[in-house]
Amino acid sequence: MIHGYGGGTAVFMRLAPLLQNYFEIILFDLLGMGASGRPTYDSWTADEATAYFVDSMLAFVEKIKVLQEPFYLLGHSLGGYIAAEYAIKYPEQIKHLILMSPVGMP
């Protein structure tokens, strides 16, 4: 589950318990938000920022070894945009994509 801009995993704390009997729930803070570290940067284009978040998500997924089989990916707001970009880049990893009020989607 990916939260929106300026949020953190706490936004899903009421939803996650309702789903935990059906799914293994994994929450993480996007870099620079929630309780995560703060990246250093000068300035990024929109494409560079998107790649930064998608690449960091891939690193997280690989680190926790989720890739044994396709998984459900849920994103809210900015997290929905990032989830969609991730699914476009790595479609073989995604079983279902769930977008909750995704921002920036044409």
- Break the chain down into helix, strand, coil percent, rounded to 5: 40, 15, 45
> How many independent structural domains does the chain possess?
1
This prediction has a pTM of 0.88
Rounded to the nearest 5°, which phi and psi values hold at 8? -165, 180
In a domain, 2, yes or no: no
Q: Give pLDDT, residue 43.
A: 79
Distance CA 38, CA 35 (A): 9
> Angle at which helices 46-63 and 78-89 pack, to 10 degrees?
70
Determine the structural domain holding residue 53 and report its residue range: 9-100
pLDDT digits (tens, 9 = 90+) for 19-56: 999 998 988 888 888 878 777 777 789 899 899 999 99
The reply to whether 106 falls in a domain is no
